[in-house]
Amino acid sequence: MPNVVKLGQKVPESEKITINLGYVDLGRIDLLVQEGFYSNRSDFIRTAIRTQLSGHDEVVTRSIERHTMELGLRDYDKATLEALREAGEILHVKVVGLARIASDVTPELARATIGSITVLGALQASTEIKKALADRIL
């Protein structure tokens, strides 16, 4: 079956998270928004998170190197996994960011070629792939 992508279909570039804040902190954020420092609550929270991450950039970089993880976006498609299977190799996915397993990858191919998955960020894969690899997602 060919890989069909609907026109206008967009892959999300971010992951939604939920946080709980005290009323005082929330009120302080709202005050900064009202004063024009930030466009909305989400803008404030994204800015605060980026500031904290920047402050720990060296630690994150050393940790990525120590764990031999890839930083950013990593795609795994059918052709890549088939080549690994033919070579008799097993893939151990280690990504800080976003790991995507293409829709043309079957659960059987994924199980035959992916030994483990560690993603600090988000894993985008079909429900079937996630079920097939559930015991390998760390």
Are 99 and 11 spatial neighbours (Cβ–Cβ below 8 Å)? no
Host domain of residue 43: 17-55
Neighbouring residues of 114: CB distance < 8 A, sequence distance ≥ 6: 76, 81, 90, 91, 92, 93, 133, 136
Assess whether 89 and 123 both reside in one domain: yes
pLDDT at 69: 79
CA distance 61 to 18: 26
Q: Please give the tally of structural domains in the chain.
A: 2
Residue 1 is assigned to a structural domain of this protein: no
Please give the DSSP secondary-structure letter assigned to residue 12: -
Q: What is the pLDDT of residue 62?
A: 73
pLDDT of 61-110, one tens digit each?
A: 777 655 567 889 999 999 999 998 998 888 889 999 999 999 999 999 99
Q: Is the pLDDT at 112 greater than 50, yes or no?
A: yes
Q: Is the pTM of this model over 0.75?
A: no
Residue 2 covered by a domain: no
Tokens of residue 27, six digits: 């009120």
